[in-house]
Amino acid sequence: MDKVIHFELPFDDGERATTFYAEAFGWQLNSMANYQYTLVTTTPTDDQGVPAERGINGGMMARQGPITAPIITIGVDSIDDAVARIEKLGGKVAIGRSPVGDMGFSAYFHDTEGNLIGLWENA
C-alpha cells in the first residue's frame, strides 16, 4: 500500500508564508536555495528522515504552473509503474518524472476529479 509521505504548500510571497507557518504552528523551515524550495518539518524525524511521531513533513515553493494549491505526495516504488496505473484509470500526468538531486524523483498528476497529486520515488 502506497502512503502519503509529504505535502507541499505553494506561496506567492515566500518570506510572508514561511513566517506565517513558523509562527502559527512552530514548524521548522529550512530554505534549499539551489532548488528554490523550503523544507517544512512538522514532526521530529530519525536519521533517515522518517517521522519519529505521527505526522508528515513537507515543503513550500513559489506558486507556479499547475502547482496552485496544497498538494499531498504519495511515496511509490516506481513512478513509471504508478503513472501507468494512473493513466489506465483515467488520471493525467501534469509534470513527468524529474530527478531531485541525488535524493530521488518526483512527478505530478491530476486524478479523475481534477486534483493535483504528487508522486515520490526514492533514489
pLDDT at position 44:
84
Count of the separate structural domains present in the chain: 1
What CATH number did the domain enclosing 8 receive?
3.10.180.10
pLDDT tens-digit readout, 77-95: 999 999 999 999 999 999 9
Q: How far apart are alpha carbons 12 and 20 in whole angstroms?
A: 13
Q: Show the domain range for 85.
A: 3-122
Average pLDDT of the segment spanning 3-17: 93
| Alpha-carbon distances, residue 6 vs 16, 70, 71, 80, 118 (angstroms) | 22, 11, 8, 19, 9
Q: How confident is the model at residue 16 (pLDDT cuts 50, 70, 90)?
A: very high
